[in-house]
Structure 1
Amino acid sequence: MKIAVIADPHFHDIDYRQGVGRGDRVAVRTLVDTSASTRVFNESFHATKALLDDIVRRGISLVIVAGDLTDDGQQSTMAAATALLADYSRRFGLRFVATAGNHDLYASHGRHQSKRFLNADGSHTLVTSDPAMAYGDSVERIVSDEMYCGGYGSAIPAMGAYGFFRSEDDRHWECPFGTDDRLEARTFEIASADGRTVRRMVDASFLVEPVDGLWLLSIDANVFEPKDGDLDERLEKSYHDSTDAGWNAMPRNKGFVLDWMKDVAARAKALGKRLVAFSHYPAIDPLNGTSADEAKLLNDTSFLRRTPLPEASKAVAATGIKVHLSGHLHINDTALFRDGDDWLVNIAVPSMVGFPPAYKVLEIGDRRLEVETVVVADVPGHDAAFAHYRVEVAREGTSAAVTEATSHADFLSRHLAEMVRHRYLPKEWPRDLAALVPHVNLGDLERLAETASPLSVTDALPLLASSARMAGDDWRALPFFEMIVDWYRLRKGREVALDFIDPLRIAAYRHLAARFAVGAWPEGCLQDRLASFMRMMMDWLASAPSRDFAVDLATGEVTSRDHLGRTVRRQTGSA
């Protein structure tokens, strides 16, 4: 029994501009916005189709969608995305089972969306559902209701064919509230932190048996907690966004879902059902135990904000659910959590609009779950927006490096470098470290590792400027920026990232990490912070490969083969 698992397609229809129509002006998002985003936009149009084509070629008919099917839940985008999946169901017999992501809906009433689309001359037009939204530096503004992101009442019916409602072909269907699939029968009360503001919200979790013996548990881990105060329930600002909440907010706000999960797991075991659970959010720390070092090195990163706390992982493991699939972070990762006799494996599924472009294939046996990571590197039409980008960069005087990409995977790898330059370094890294990066190469890092006296960034710059610099092909001449980009590639892709990093670089990074590991400096100095950086990189390199592996469903043991063919076992604990 094989299942394909995809996450975060973020489908965007580049042929249709909201408020204008199809065939008039294309809906290509700006490269400036793309470079600063954690995902690409326009490339999703062809990438989603290439992903589904690959699934069809493999003869797989059951597909799990772990949230964020759409770009940002816009009404026209939701219609285009669901039409695409319906086409593949009609032509190839694919059956989709999904959960809603934080980009697919917002609370009960939805929220406004505003996007900038390129014009033929490289300028851009603002298309928005919000009449109060200012033009900014756009040359034109179009107000369209089609840009509005719906709430539960509109988004769940739009995705209803993906298991959210009972189908006559299903062997079994239920939700935490029973067997009534009407949304009005699937609501609960959620209160603000001070307990004074109470809202009624839909929970869209469900259990479906699409084929004999297989239970798919779709968990709605979106939590829209009201803010304190008597705020208008129709406004976005009245709720804490689910984006950073995830499983950390579930025990406090949706304990009834956890109780239901425990009941489902017990019944699945008693009835001999193969149970696979999934939600949009990871249930175990995806940083593989490096959270402390990341908190020490960087500012408040999105990864840290979205990291499940041990208490949340413990609550999920206590339900008896053994395997949980997640999306949201656009990473390739496998983590194991143990608490006494309870254990849980979280399989984080990558996205086709973030590095690395991949999905998972599960082969479910009685005692073992085999997992394959499938990289979809080549996407026909991957360069569909490149001509528009080149006009934009010519007008703006920015870089066109991403348009030199030779494949979809190469484009995403280049996009990650731009994201490091435009998003991660300026927004997440401490200002002094970010300022140091352009002035340092690997040879400079080696000299810092050999300097026993603790330094600040201010102390280090003149010292390094007076040192002889390596040039040419020597690894010491590699800019520190390139190492940081590779650091992010490993952070997001784990073993898959090794396909995109020169092995000579990996050898150089191991050498530097070893030099920093033997040093001892006061906490907070430059060398100590760089040592944290090196430790994290080595932790990701040393962690069990997460490309292809197996989970023993009786013991929780995770085993895989490394690049040398050796068996690697995941260690006990969140790793």
Structure 2
Amino acid sequence: MIAFFILHQVTSQEVNKGKIAFLADIHFQDLYGNLEDSEYKGVLNSTNNRTTLLRTMASQLQSTRIFNENYFAFLATLNDIVERNIKVVALPGDYSDDGQPLHVRGLRKILEYYAKEHDIQFFITTGNHDPAGPFLKDSGKKDFLGEQGKKQPLYSEESMYVSKPAIEHPVVVTKDIAKMGYVEIMETLKDFGFYPQKSFLYWETPFSNYTPQTYQYKKALKASNIENRTYPLKNNLKIPDASYLVEPVDGLWLLAIDGNSYIPESNGNFSGAGLGYNNSIKYKQHLFSWFSKVAKMAKKLNKTLIAFSHYPAIDFNEDASPRIEEFFGGKKWQLKRVPEEKIAEKIAEAGIKIHVAGHMHINDTGKRDYGNGNFLVNIQTPSLAAYIPGYKTLSITDNEVEVETIVIDEVPRFKELFSLYEMEYNYLKKTNQPLWDSTILQSKSYHEFTEFHLENLVKNRFYSDWNPDFFEFLSNLTGKELLMLSENQQEEDIINFFATKEGLAESDLKNLNQYENWTGIDMILDFYKIRNADQLAFRDIPQQRLEEYKAILNAFQKNTFFKNTKHAYAHQLQLFMNIFKSFIHGVPANHFQINLKSGEVTNLEKASSPEGF
């Protein structure tokens, strides 16, 4: 038995073969792994007397993902899946930090354990972090935590980084921190869908030439050779495509889509794959014809087809992306990752109806209906390494798919590294280096830990997307002032208020003073929480404040001055309120049902928000 598992007793309920769990963006980093070509073991943790390969808290508070505690969240999630008796688990990419041998081996070890001990089948597709490029490439990180709280650089080539002796340890050189390419990752994780298994009822690639009627394992084995799974780019360059179709249980087809497109650059490197389908539709057109072929076969053979990729197929901003671009002024807020509208249309036209994705670390659902039975529902799976941590389950019948979001609130051992962070903090303080907010070490749950992480990102990184003057202005407004602004339609009064913060008429609401219990910065933080978690964020926002948001948002929507104004701050405020309301009124994303015939999405969530939200 592997020592790091805390196992739970599995109930004797009947196995639900029609249920799948989707775990996206795990970003697994093997805290307790071994470097095979180095004697370096990591920093000693006095809490458990184990050497640990972790990144600094300073670094993870500046990243859109957590680097370390998600290790424990991953184990807690797998144990939750065991308790729910789910036997098919899909990982839509970014299952590792950056596709390094150290972390991918550690991931394999864990998946092998759960596959053997609990009879779980795992199916993986690629993400832009794994592989981070099509071929093996030297790399490293300068922000591992070392003894005394100093940073410890790890690189696969010594010449890649020169450490700063005053604040860093000498570079540890290890090939285990390089970024693997397709060949290495697919070989390491070959048992998790990338290659056929005798137990599979069916398996194919976009390039195989057999059918379900002529299928044989030995044919699939030959087709799985990576040399038979490439597509051409310019200058006769051939890039692997890790896509595959698998039937793990009778009647269920999983379409694992490799949405990565790596474009050669003049310097010999490759562009990252983060744009997803926006590049795939240009450089991997063979995928879209394959989608059509697979969907037609699935319909003919009465198979339920579920597609999953790392990348979203539908706008994940509740169709507010044009307003977001106007509000922030350009392609900020990861707007370059928003799929072009033709992506959803092409996928729906091919016959795919359900598509599960990750990449954005958010909980969301998008839907497009093009008529004639061509519709697409895109299900965004939250990350285990960001707010709000969770995963999706899909329960499948012939005509319906029930989707549920499972939030990972409590994670055993998530405080296991806190003493090391205290050492880091004390070293930074002693050496007069910038300090991070140590309040995060007071977190009582993993959920609370990720919430603090997001709030810290907003205040210390995401604010740079904003007009700084407007960010400060909105942050310092009280809820009462926002309400009075929303109800006032007198241009002179409003413009005077923007200049002096005086002169607004009082609202007639009886509970007006309650609106002074929060300010604009609270609303901004809640704006980001709702964007990340959809209505799951409501549990982290006081109910009274949600009611007050409702009143303010509705008033701004009706206010003719704000609708038509060209005044800069007034227009910015109207845009912000408009986007905020869009985030609240999207397609159901927490617990819902999809009719596979009509595409209708029915909310199954019990009321968790103010009436009218």
TM-score by length of 1: 0.90
Residue 493 of structure 1 aligns with which residue? 533
1:356 aligns with 2:392: no
Q: Does 1:139 align with 2:168?
A: yes
Contact between 2:320 and 2:582, CA under 8 Å: does it hold in 1?
yes
| Of 582, 588, 598, the match for 1:555 | 598
Q: State the AA in 1 paired with 2:577.
A: M
1:90 matched to which residue of 2? 116
Displacement of 1:171:
1.0
SS of the residue aligned with 2:199? Answer: coil
> Any idea what SS the aligned residue of 2:52 has?
coil
Question: Judging changes above 3 Å, is the alpha-carbon distance between structure 1 residues 392 and 437 closer, same or farther for their aligned structure 2 residues?
Answer: farther
Distance 1:133 1:454 in 2: 59
Matches within 5 A, 1:72-471: 72-111=98-137, 112-130=139-157, 131-135=159-163, 138-140=167-169, 141-178=171-208, 179=220, 180-191=223-234, 197-227=235-265, 229=266, 231-232=267-268, 238-243=269-274, 245-299=275-329, 300-341=331-372, 342-394=374-426, 395=429, 396-426=434-464, 428-449=465-486, 450=488, 452-453=490-491, 463-464=500-501
Q: CA deviation at 1:17?
A: 7.0
Cα distance in 1 for residues equivalent to 2:494 and 2:190: 57
Please give the secondary structure, in 2, of the residue aligned with 1:127.
strand
Using a 3 Å threshold, how does the CA distance of structure 1 residues 48 and 454 change in structure 2: closer, same or farther?
farther
The within-5 A match list for 1:472-511 is 474-511=514-551
Kept after mapping to 2: 8 A contact 1:205/1:219: yes
Distance in 1 (CA, whole Å) between partners of 2:338 and 2:245 is 26
- Alpha-carbon spacing, 1:524–1:259, altered in 2? closer, same or farther (3 Å): farther
In structure 1, what is the Cα distance between the partners aligned to 2:333 and 2:63?
A: 12
Report the Cα distance in structure 2 between the residues aligned to 1:442 and 1:555, rounded to whole angstroms.
43
State the SS of the aligned residue for 2:501: helix
Correspondent of 2:41 among 17, 21, 35: 21
Q: CA deviation at 1:302?
A: 3.9
Deviation sequence 1:116-161 (CA, Å, 0-9, x none): 1223433211222242223367412222211111111111111111
* 2:94 is the alignment partner of 1:68: yes
Supply the AA of the counterpart residue of 1:14.
L
Q: CA deviation at 1:220?
A: 0.4
The worse-fitting range, judged by mean Cα deviation, of 259-268 and 460-469 is 460-469
| Contact 1:455-1:525 within 8 A present in 2 as well | no
CA distance in 2, matches of 1:8, 1:401: 26
Alignment: residue pair count: 551
Contact 1:199 1:226 in 2 (8 A): no
- Aligned counterpart, 2:572: 529
Deviation at 1:467, TM superposition (A): 9.0
CA contact (8 A) 1:114 1:129 kept: no
Match of 1:573 in 2: none
> CA, structure 1 residues 508+456, in 2 after alignment: closer, same or farther (shift >3 Å)?
closer
CA distance in 2, matches of 1:452, 1:182: 71
Q: Which amino acid is 1:326 matched to?
A: A
Q: Distance in 1 between matches of 2:382 and 2:478?
A: 31
In 2, Cα distance between equivalents of 1:220 and 1:340: 28
Do 2:318 and 2:583's aligned partners in 1 also have CA atoms closer than 8 Å? yes
- The alpha-carbon deviation at position 405 of structure 1 amounts to 1.0
Q: CA–CA distance in 1 between the matches of 2:349 and 2:414?
A: 44
Partner of 1:37: 63
Write the distance in 1 (CA, Å) between the matches of 2:318 and 2:536.
Answer: 16
In the alignment, residue 5 of structure 1 is paired with which amino acid? F
Return the offset for 1:465. 7.9
| Deviation of 1:371 (Å) | 1.0
In the TM superposition, residue 308 of structure 1 has moved relative to its aligned partner by 0.6
TM superposition shift of 1:532: 1.3
Following the alignment from structure 1 to structure 2, what is the Cα–Cα distance between the partners of residues 378 and 409? 7
Structure number, greater radius of gyration: 2
Cα 1:222/1:514, change in 2 over 3 Å: same
1:456 Cα deviation after fit: 11
Is the Cα contact below 8 Å between 2:484 and 2:504 reproduced in 1?
A: no
**Which residue of 2 is the match for residue 543 of structure 1?**
586
Moved more, 161-170 or 474-483: 474-483
Superimposed CA distance per residue, residues 297-346 of structure 1 (whole angstroms, 9 cap, x where no aligned partner): 11422431111111111111111011000011111111111223221111
The Cα shift of 1:363 comes to 0.9
The two structures have a TM-score, normalised by structure 2, of: 0.85
CA distance in 1, matches of 2:592, 2:26: 24
Question: For 1:382 and 1:101, how far apart are their aligned partners in 2?
Answer: 25
CA distance in 1, matches of 2:489, 2:153: 52
Q: Alpha-carbon deviation of 1:448?
A: 4.0
Contact 2:328 2:467 in 1 (8 A): yes
CA separation of 1:187 and 1:296: change in aligned 2, threshold 3 A: same
| Maintained 8 Å contact 1:125/1:138 | no
Distance in 1, matches of 2:567 and 2:28, equals: 43
Give % identity.
Answer: 30
**Contact 1:15 1:23 (8 Å CA) reproduced:** no
What secondary structure sits across from 1:252 in the alignment?
Answer: helix
Q: Is the contact made by 1:11 and 1:70 (CA closer than 8 Å) also made in structure 2?
A: yes
CA distance in 1 between counterparts of 2:368 and 2:596 reads 14
| Aligned residues of 1:107 and 1:201 also touching (Cα < 8 A) | no
Contact 1:443 1:476 survives alignment (8 Å): yes
Q: Is the 8 A contact 2:455 2:525 kept in 1?
A: yes
- For residue 593 of structure 2, give the secondary structure of its aligned residue in structure 1: strand
For residues 34 and 540 of structure 1, what CA distance do their matches in structure 2 show?
Answer: 26
State how far apart, in whole Å, the 1-side matches of 2:207 and 2:327 are: 45
Contact conserved, 2:588 with 2:601, CA < 8 A, in 1?
Answer: no
